[in-house]
Each structure stands twice: as structure tokens, then as C-alpha cells.
């Protein structure tokens, strides 16, 4: 044994794994085995002390306590997965697609985050998702959803989007300033694969500065800021869905996003609007007429091209 190396029981971790019973599914045993090897090796590598282990136990106890006390409105474990990069890594693994043309790829995926709602209302093309007063910048957003293989438009695709208001809060966090489904909406692309709507130029915001996630950020000397972003979920029965976020190119937090979700092709330019196209009405909701425009095309991969499909537990 090399000098300084600890003679810990070399068979202990495998013994823990081998206690799985005969009804454990192969995938569950694979996950548990890999997790125990990584966890035990971590403890050995740093010589984890009993005091540090108990601090970790209390840390996760507090994480669950926040979920219970908020009645399920604040998912602190989800946030911890985000600030450690785990959700971004899982998203990359789940959405990997091998393409023949490196210059034409499906739109990059980004984390779903904890604020998606299944109850977003269907809206007509050209409608606004802005329901309530704000101090933001009204934006005309439009684009075409295309097929990765043929590069042709995809009619009848669902374009689901949601964003925080100009104060950095989502609708359910901000009663009574925001009504239900403010800054949320689902649209169907037309026969030309186009979507068009009004939204806000997004605003950067901080993650909550309390609880276990904030304690971890402080211990790591990291900021809690998310760059301004809009969430998108684009789906069609014949295509692999894209769940993603888009970011203004001049946002100061792009390179240090606290949840590691920024990708190069998701950084976009909100330009001054020149005119509203024929067939679009001027925005007449809160905030008045649009002063910015965002043209964003989305590329979907046919379902047969998906390179990874996670097995069932």
C-alpha cells in the first residue's frame, strides 16, 4: 500500500450494491450501483468526517422541509439540481441527436425549470401573452418551426412559452400583481409553420436568497442571478420535442448563469421594430405598442433521429 493511502475495506461498496434483492429491475440496479460507487468514493476521497456528514443530512432535511412548508410551491431540490448543473447535464444527455450536417442542427435544449404550467391557455396567432401592467418592453416575436431533415416548415406544431414579468417574478409568485397565466400561452403554427405573438423582452432575476440553495451558493462564493430569458416548449406528434430558453445577447449574466443553461444558439437579438407585418394588429394591451422585435426559427428533429431514450426503472 503506497505511503499515506488509507486501507479502507475494498469490498464494502460492492457488498452494499449486492444486497439488492432479486426483484430489483436491471436499470434500478445499474443506477443504484453507479450512485453508490460515486458516493462512497467521494466520501473516501475527502475523508468525510461524521460532523460533515451530519451537516449534509441536515442540509437535505431542510430542503424537504421547504417543499412541505410551501405546500409544493417551492421545489428546493429542483433548484439544487439546477445550481449544481445536474438538470442541464441530464437535459443534454436526453436531447442528444446525431446529425449529418454539423451546420444544421436541432435547436438546443435547456432546462425546463420549476415554473412550467400545464394550464397555459391556448391563444390565437398574433395574440399577446401580456395580461397585466408591467414596466418592461413589449416585443413582437415570430418565426418558423422547421424539420431538421427536410428544412421544410412544420404546420400545426405547438409553441408553448412562459416568462417572468419585468419584476423578475412569475404569475403564481406575484399575486395580486399578476393574474393567472399572465405571460403564458400556447399557439399552433399555421400552414407555413409560422408562429407570431406579443411578449416582453425578458428581465434578469435572482434565485431566492434564502434556504439550502442560497446557503450553497454563498459557500461557493457564487451569485444567484439568472440571465434574462424566455422559456419555450415546442412539440409535434412526429418530432422530438424541444424544451429550451432564449437569452438577449447583451445580458451581463450569460457567461455565469447560475444554472448553466445558456447555449450559443439560444442567444438572440431583440432589435428595434420597424413595422408590424400585414395581418398583425398593433399591440393594444398593457405597455402599449411593441418597440422591439425578435425573429426566432426553431428546428425539430424527427422522432426516429433521437439518439437516446432512457430505459424504464
Q: Give the tens place of pLDDT for each residue, 116-135.
A: 999 999 999 999 999 999 99
12-49 confidence digits (pLDDT tens): 999 999 999 999 999 999 999 999 999 999 999 999 99
Look at the alpha carbons of 136, 182, 264, 143 in this order and tell me if their dihedral is positive or negative: negative
Rounded to a whole number of angstroms, the distance between the first and last alpha carbons of the chain is 39
Helices (H) and strands (E) counted in the chain, each on its own, are: 6, 12
| Partners of residue 234 on adjacent β-strands | 159, 242
173-217 confidence digits (pLDDT tens): 898 999 999 999 999 999 999 999 999 999 999 999 999 999 999
| SS3 at position 21 | coil
Do residues 110 and 246 touch, judged by C-beta distance below 8 A? no
237-265 confidence digits (pLDDT tens): 999 999 999 999 999 999 999 999 999 99
Q: How confident is the model at residue 77 (pLDDT cuts 50, 70, 90)?
A: very high
Task: Kindly list the distances between the CA atom of residue 237 and the CA atoms of 108, 130, 154, 303, in Å, as whole numbers in the listed order.
Answer: 19, 28, 11, 9
| SS3 at position 233 | strand
Cell 430558453 -> residue? 245
DSSP 276: P
Mean pLDDT for 266-281 is 87
Task: Kindly list the distances between the CA atom of residue 313 and the CA atoms of 27, 32, 90, 109, in Å, as whole numbers in the listed order.
Answer: 5, 11, 16, 24
Is the predicted pLDDT of residue 306 greater than 80, yes or no?
Answer: no
Q: Can you give the pTM of this predicted structure?
A: 0.88
Is the predicted pLDDT of residue 283 greater than 90, yes or no?
Answer: no
Is the predicted pLDDT of residue 309 greater than 50, yes or no?
Answer: no
CA dist 270 and 39 (Å) reads: 45
Nearest one of 147, 293, 163, 154 to 232, comparing CA atoms = 163
The least confident of 90-99, 133-142, 155-164, 266-275 is: 90-99
What DSSP letter does each residue of 74-107 carry, written as one string?
--HHHHHHHHTTHHHHHHHHHT-B--S-TTS-PP
Which H or E run includes 30? helix 26-46
Q: Residue 310: what pLDDT?
A: 46
Q: Residue 275: what pLDDT?
A: 80
CA dist 36 and 68 (Å) reads: 27
Amino acid at each position: 500500500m503506497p505511503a499515506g493511502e488509507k486501507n479502507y475495506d475494498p469490498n464494502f461498496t460492492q457488498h452494499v450494491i449486492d444486497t439488492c434483492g432479486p426483484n430489483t429491475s436491471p436499470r434500478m440496479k445499474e443506477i443504484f450501483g453507479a450512485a453508490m460507487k460515486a458516493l462512497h468514493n467521494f466520501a473516501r476521497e475527502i475523508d468525510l468526517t461524521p460532523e460533515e456528514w451530519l451537516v449534509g443530512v441536515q442540509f437535505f432535511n431542510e430542503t424537504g422541509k421547504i417543499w412541505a412548508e410551501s405546500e409544493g410551491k417551492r421545489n428546493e431540490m429542483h433548484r439544487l439540481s439546477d445550481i449544481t448543473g445536474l438538470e442541464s447535464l441530464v437535459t443534454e444527455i436526453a436531447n442528444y441527436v446525431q446529425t449529418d450536417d454539423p451546420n444544421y442542427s436541432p435547436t438546443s435544449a435547456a432546462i425546463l425549470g420549476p415554473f412550467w404550467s400545464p394550464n397555459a391557455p391556448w391563444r390565437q396567432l398574433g395574440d399577446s401573452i401580456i395580461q397585466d401592467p408591467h414596466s418592461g418592453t413589449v416585443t413582437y416575436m415570430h418565426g418558423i418551426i422547421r424539420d431538421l431533415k427536410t428544412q421544410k416548415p412544420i404546420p400545426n406544431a405547438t409553441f408553448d412559452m412562459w416568462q417572468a414579468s419585468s419584476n423578475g417574478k412569475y404569475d403564481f409568485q406575484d399575486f395580486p400583481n399578476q393574474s393567472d397565466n399572465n405571460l403564458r400561452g400556447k399557439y399552433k403554427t399555421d400552414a407555413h409553420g409560422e408562429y407570431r405573438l406579443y411578449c416582453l423582452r425578458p428581465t434578469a432575476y435572482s434565485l431566492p436568497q434564502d434556504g439550502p440553495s442560497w446557503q450553497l451558493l454563498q459557500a461557493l462564493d457564487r451569485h444567484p442571478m439568472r440571465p434574462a430569458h424566455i422559456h419555450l416548449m415546442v412539440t409535434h406528434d412526429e418530432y422530438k420535442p424541444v424544451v429550451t430558453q432564449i437569452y438577449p445577447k447583451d445580458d451581463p449574466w450569460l457567461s455565469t448563469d447560475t444554472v448553466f443553461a445558456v447555449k450559443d444558439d439560444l442567444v438572440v437579438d431583440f432589435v428595434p421594430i420597424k413595422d408590424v407585418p400585414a395581418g398583425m394588429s398593433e399591440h393594444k394591451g398593457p405597455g402599449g405598442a411593441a418597440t422591439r422585435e425578435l425573429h426566432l426559427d426553431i428546428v425539430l428533429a424527427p422522432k426516429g433521429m433521437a439518439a437516446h431514450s432512457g430505459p424504464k426503472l
